[in-house]
Every structure is written in C-alpha cells, then in structure tokens.
Amino acid sequence: MSEHHSGSETAVRVRRLEERLIGAGLTSDEQLDGILGQVLSGSPANGARVVARAWVDPAFRERLLDDANAALDELGLSMSTGPVPLRLTVVPNTATTHNVLVCTLCSCYPIGLLGPSPSWYKSEAYRARVVREPRAVLSEFGLTLPAHTEIVVHDTSAESRHLVLPMRPPGTSELTESELSALVTRNGLIGTASV
Amino acid sequence: MTEPRFALGDRVRARPVDPPHHSRLPRYARGHVGEVVEVQGMWPLADEKAQGELNPRVEAVYTVRFPASALWGQPAEHWVHVELWESYLEVAK
C-alpha cells in the first residue's frame, strides 16, 4: 500500500500502524489492498442499479425487501467489503413514509453499494440532529416533505446496513432501466433527497 | 444464548446503564421504551469484541422502534429505529 501514500503526517502514521499489524502477523499488504480495493469499487451507481431494477420488476422488489443480500447476488453485487459480509436491509419510501439513514455512534454506511460516505454523513451535526429533528435537517437538504408524511430515522447501531428505496418519480414510465438508474442519487439512497 | 428472548411486537426498555466500556447502546435510547419490529439474527456482542474478547458472547440483535416524542419530548412526531443487542434490553412493564 505504500505506493498510495504521500509523505503527509497522517500517511506516515497509517503506514507505521500497518507495518506493526503486518509485523504482528495480523494482516498483510495484500489483504489491506484487497479491502481498500473493495471500498473504492463501491459507488452510488451500484445502489442506483438496485433501485432501478426494483422499480421495473415488482417480483425483484419483493425479494429485495424480503432478503436484500440474496437479491444483490442476482445483480452480481455484494455487501462483502470486510472479512464478513454485512447484512443489508432495504427500507422502501411510500406515499406516507419517508426513511432516512444515520449512524449516530460512528459512520456505518453501505460502502459496497454507495462507495465511501460523504463527509456530512460523518459530521457530528448531521448525526446529532437527524435523529432529533429530521424534518428540519431534510429541508436544509432541499427536501420538504408533506406534513402528513411519517419520517422513520434508521440509526445503524449494530451489524446491519441499510439502503433507502426511493419512490419512482412520476412521468418516468417510458424510461429504460438504465435511464431510470441515472435518476437515482446518492442522497436519494441515504434518504436526504427524494430520488 | 441460543433463542431470541424477544419477539416481534414486544415492548422493551433499553437498559438505563452507563457501562465503563465501549457499548453500541446509544445514550439517547437508554431508559426508553420501544417496540421490537425486527429480529435480525445472532451477532457477537460489540461490547465484548471491543474489549478484545476472542470468543465474544453471541446474542440476538433487534430493531427497536422508538417514538421520537419519548426520546426527545414534544412535538417530535417521527420514529427512530435503533438496532440493539439482547442484553441492552429488558421487558417493559
């Protein structure tokens, strides 16, 4: 991994820590590179593919909500960004319910489906406020929900990861699956945007 | 611990504890009553893993739904789902 590192103080400290762990026989450069590669290969495009498939294929949507890990397999995607594949739960938005994700304790995030998380997701302000006043936080993201929409905040506090399944936007019945997936944004998959 | 102690719909209280070690029981949920909405299966207890326990206890993890008004007071009206290991919970009376 040393070739990825600049001479910054943090990089030097990271490398020293890696060397200690490797020296202790706890990991290897190959294993660390493999994990980093998986983290960096994640992208919101993966989550968007899942959503578009669920929009066009109601049977897939049902399987996705029932057992998301198995449904990911069908698309050649997985939650294996670490030594153990993480459990995925997909939470669907409806006309009456809107879901939004957070990890108040640290920064748990579905990296395999969304890639590295945005910095605001890890900020103390987002983590502290969205569990307490989600409607206000969402409106700061530009998402103003109808007053009757119920909001569910999912605090990723244990071993599952989540993905929001946004509602299919109106007027998109003519679009292909790949055109639909292009409509889906990272924030839509976290719940801080409608799509 | 082999069988989950709680089932869907059970009312549970997050224990009002303040352990001297790492825990994944968020402070804002401690002491509050919620409802089990999902049983997630069995997972090694984060508290013991964090203390270097090589064979940590394996416990059921539940998704527990709390009304925000209970956590934060009025006029909050949303729901907060928190994922909690079984030993974080007790029967709500």
Q: How far apart are the C-alpha atoms of A155 and B26, rounded to whole Å?
A: 9
CATH code assigned at A172: 3.90.330.10
Amino acid at B90: E
Nearest residue in B to A132, CA atom: B72
Domain that holds residue A32: 2-40
- Is the Cβ–Cβ distance between A143 and A193 less than 8 Å? yes
- Which tokens go with A93? 């938005």
Q: How far apart are the C-alpha atoms of B61 and B78, rounded to whole Å?
A: 22
pLDDT, mean of residues B86-90 = 98
CB count within 10 Å of CB B57 equals 14
Q: Which of residues 44-63 of B touch A (CB under 8 A)?
A: 46, 61, 63
CB count within 10 Å of CB A146 equals 8
Write out pLDDT tens, residues A15-67: 999 999 999 999 999 999 888 887 777 889 999 999 999 999 999 999 999 99
Residue A106 annotated to the active site: yes
Fold of B1-58+87-93: SH3 type barrels. (2.30.30)
- Is the Cβ–Cβ distance between B23 and B46 less than 8 Å? yes
Contacts A133 to B, Cβ<8 Å: 76
**A97/A131 same-domain check:** yes
- Residue in A68, A132, A130, A141 with CA at minimum distance from that of residue A102: A130
Residue A108 annotated to the active site: yes
Contacts B65 to A, Cβ<8 Å: 152
Distance from CA of A56 to the nearest CA of B (A): 27
Q: How far apart are the C-alpha atoms of A64 and A51, rounded to whole Å?
A: 10
User: ipTM surpassing 0.85, yes or no?
Assistant: yes
The residues, any chain, with a CB within 8 Å of residue A158's CB and separated by 6 or more, are B24, B40, B43, B46, B61, B83, B84, B85
Of all residues in chain B, what percent carry a pLDDT higher than 90?
91
CB count within 10 Å of CB A39 equals 14
The residues, any chain, with a CB within 8 Å of residue A140's CB and separated by 6 or more, are none
pLDDT at residue A5 is higher than 60 = no
Residue A195 belongs to some domain of the structure: no
- Is the Cβ–Cβ distance between A30 and A154 less than 8 Å? no
**A8/A92 same-domain check:** no
**A108/A121 same-domain check:** yes
**A118/A86 same-domain check:** yes
Nearest residue in B to A155, CA atom: B82
**A137/A88 same-domain check:** yes
Residue A139 annotated to the active site: no
Task: Give the pLDDT score at A111.
Answer: 87
The number of domains in chain A is 2
- Is the Cβ–Cβ distance between A130 and A181 less than 8 Å? no
What pTM value is reported for the model?
Answer: 0.90
CA A26, chain centre distance (Å): 28
Q: How far apart are the C-alpha atoms of A178 and A181, rounded to whole Å?
A: 5
Contacts A26 to B, Cβ<8 Å: none
